[in-house]
Amino acid sequence: MNHVDGRFTGTGGVEIYWQAWRPAEARAVVVIAHGAGEHSRRYEHVARRLV
pLDDT in tens, 1-51: 899 999 999 999 999 999 999 988 989 999 888 888 888 888 889 888 888
pTM (two decimals): 0.67
CB contact at 8 A, 9 and 15:
yes
pLDDT of residue 11: 96
Which residues lie below 8 Å from residue 41, measured CB to CB, with a gap of 6+? Answer: 19
Alpha carbon 38 to chain centroid, angstroms = 13
Check residue 5 and give its pLDDT.
96
Residue 7's domain comprises: 2-50
pLDDT at 28: 92
Do the beta carbons of residue 20 and residue 32 sit within 8 Å? no
For 17-50, the three-class secondary structure string (H helix, E strand, C coil) is EEEEEECCCCCCCCCCCCCCCCCHHHHHHHHHHH
The number of folded domains in the chain is: 1
